[in-house]
Amino acid sequence: MRVSRWLWSLSLLAAAFLLANNIPYPSASSQVLAPDLGLVSAQAAAAEFVPGEVLVQCRLPLPPAAVATILRLAGGAMVERNPTLGLYRLRLPEGVDVQQAAALYSELPWVEYAEPNYIVRAATVPDDPLYPAHQAWYYDLINAPAGWDIERGRPAIIVAVLDTGVDLSHPDLQFKIWTNAREVVGNGIDDDGNGCIDDVHGCDFVPLPPSSDPSDDHGHGTMVAGIVGASSNNGLGVAGTAWGVTVLPVKVLDSTGAGTASDVAQGIIYAAKSGAQVINMSMARPSPSHALEQAVNEAHDAFGVVLVAASGNEGQEGVGYPAAYPAVIAVSAFGHSDPNSRAPFSNWGPEVDVTAPGVDVYSTHLGGGYAMGEGTSFATAFVSGLVALLLSQDSSRSDDDIRAILRIASDDLPNGSTPNWDGWGRLNMGKALQTQVYQTVVPGVVRG
């Protein structure tokens, strides 16, 4: 009742002021009591602001004291005034919705604008001890801190890392590892029908039959997993790209870093059936495989998974597989000394979609340690991490939506002597997480 009286008083004050000053009352399309609250942007709705405060900028040719009186009568207690900007900071009555109040004030003809008193924070910089010396240079290049201000990832988003396995007890990863709630531990039955028995924290497809221990015996998969989603702001080691998401370990490569098309194909279907929304494949082979392509298409078409893979490390024209398949986002790598150019080892070609850091990348390693590496494998993990953040922001996004965002938000780079090496350009996390795409639902009619 108190809030409704305040809204009614505000509208009466507006009408009285207009009549007293011979100002025409607003048209029906802009009635004070019926602001279009649906036009409040999603970005504003998600922003942080001071509870119970509104900033109002007036355009009345009246002394500041008179304006302050009018605003106070409208229901807001003035906290402070900025004379240079003509800006008034108001405290609203208890229980009044800040965004609704700002929308109502904005409808008044003597108000230039009104908005919540938004909270502005410094760009998010992880406190992980290895971040400043080893990671900041490439995360700054891909605008990660601005992205983390917007989204850091949600545990409901699962990124399957198809690789050599993951060090499940690594301090920077152990709390990020997927737990299969649908599996009854130790009963020897594949309870959830995903192709692996008693798979509590992932599955190992090397060798067959599958086993429930996807521990890493090489190191590559643990580094990839750390780039995707190592815990951050925990006072340990390094920061992952999407430190709030869940990592699903799927071992499809052996201790030498090699695997078969059939193993990878099984791993893809397993990840899709287990609920992964993103599948990271930091691997490449020079020639196609029907089995691999079939698994990729099944995960993409039937399960709606976004698949990301490496272009290859031969330093030649020709993107490897599975990255070259149309259903997969193909990733190349840029360098460190010249981040506007292709890393010398990175393959290129028209199938490349985007480029990401691939040199001097620091991440988690076996035995709870950390290591530096290079390769399109690691560049791929950054893209998978950003895809996971985009899905954390809006889980309804499709593969087409993700590709459209990456295309719009990536920073174009020079071709140099290798055209098509960077695809849409260099990953830009901050820009991507501020990009909205809209799809045409009903075909339009064009009249000549």
The span from the CA of 8 to the CA of 5, in Å, is: 5
The span from the CA of 335 to the CA of 433, in Å, is: 24
**Residue 94, domain member (yes or no):** yes
Same domain, yes or no: 382 and 418: yes
**Residue 448, domain member (yes or no):** no
**Residue 420, domain member (yes or no):** yes
- The two structure tokens encoding residue 278: 């993103």
Same domain, yes or no: 148 and 110: no
- pLDDT above 70 coverage of the chain, percent: 81
pLDDT above 60: residue 25: no
**Residue 123, domain member (yes or no):** no
Same domain, yes or no: 352 and 395: yes
pLDDT above 70: residue 438: no
Same domain, yes or no: 287 and 229: yes
Q: Domain of 65?
A: 2-118
pLDDT above 50: residue 33: no
The span from the CA of 429 to the CA of 406, in Å, is: 9
| pLDDT (average), residues 148-154 | 94
Same domain, yes or no: 51 and 105: yes
Pick from 118, 152, 181: which residue ends a domain? 118
**Residue 196, domain member (yes or no):** yes
Same domain, yes or no: 147 and 64: no
**Residue 52, domain member (yes or no):** yes
Which residue out of 106, 134, 163, 216 is catalytically annotated? Answer: 163
**Residue 445, domain member (yes or no):** no
- Chain segment 245-292, per-residue pLDDT in tens: 999 999 999 999 999 999 999 999 999 999 999 999 999 999 999 999
- 46: pLDDT confidence band, cut at 50, 70 and 90? very low
Q: CA angle, corner 412, sides to 408 and 417, nearest 5?
A: 145
- 9: pLDDT confidence band, cut at 50, 70 and 90? low
The answer to whether 140 is a known catalytic residue is: no
The answer to whether 163 is a known catalytic residue is: yes
Same domain, yes or no: 106 and 144: no
- Chain segment 313-341, per-residue pLDDT in tens: 999 999 999 999 999 999 999 999 999 99
Mean pLDDT is lowest, of 183-197, 251-265, 335-349, 400-414, for 183-197
pLDDT for res 75: 62
Same domain, yes or no: 172 and 264: yes
- 47: pLDDT confidence band, cut at 50, 70 and 90? very low
- 81: pLDDT confidence band, cut at 50, 70 and 90? confident
If residue 362 lies in a helix (H) or strand (E), which one and from where to where? strand 361-365
Q: What is the DSSP string of 246-297?
A: EEEEEE-S-TTS---HHHHHHHHHHHHHTT-SEEEE---BSS--HHHHHHHH
- Chain segment 359-380, per-residue pLDDT in tens: 999 999 999 999 999 999 999 9
What is the number of structural domains in the chain? Answer: 2
Query: Do residues 291 and 285 make contact, with C-beta atoms less than 8 angstroms apart?
Result: no
Pick from 118, 142, 158: which residue ends a domain? 118
Which residue out of 106, 377, 392, 410 is catalytically annotated? Answer: 377
Same domain, yes or no: 106 and 167: no
pLDDT for res 208: 81
**What's the CATH number where 327 sits?**
3.40.50.200
The answer to whether 377 is a known catalytic residue is: yes
Which residue out of 220, 311, 401, 410 is catalytically annotated? Answer: 220
Same domain, yes or no: 295 and 369: yes
| pLDDT (average), residues 295-305 | 98
pLDDT for res 298: 98
| pLDDT (average), residues 107-126 | 74
Same domain, yes or no: 337 and 195: yes
- 102: pLDDT confidence band, cut at 50, 70 and 90? confident
- 27: pLDDT confidence band, cut at 50, 70 and 90? very low
pLDDT for res 61: 59
Query: Average pLDDT, whole number, for the chain?
Result: 85
3-state secondary structure of 382: helix
**Residue 335, domain member (yes or no):** yes
Same domain, yes or no: 62 and 137: no
**What's the CATH number where 61 sits?**
3.30.70.80
The span from the CA of 420 to the CA of 354, in Å, is: 10
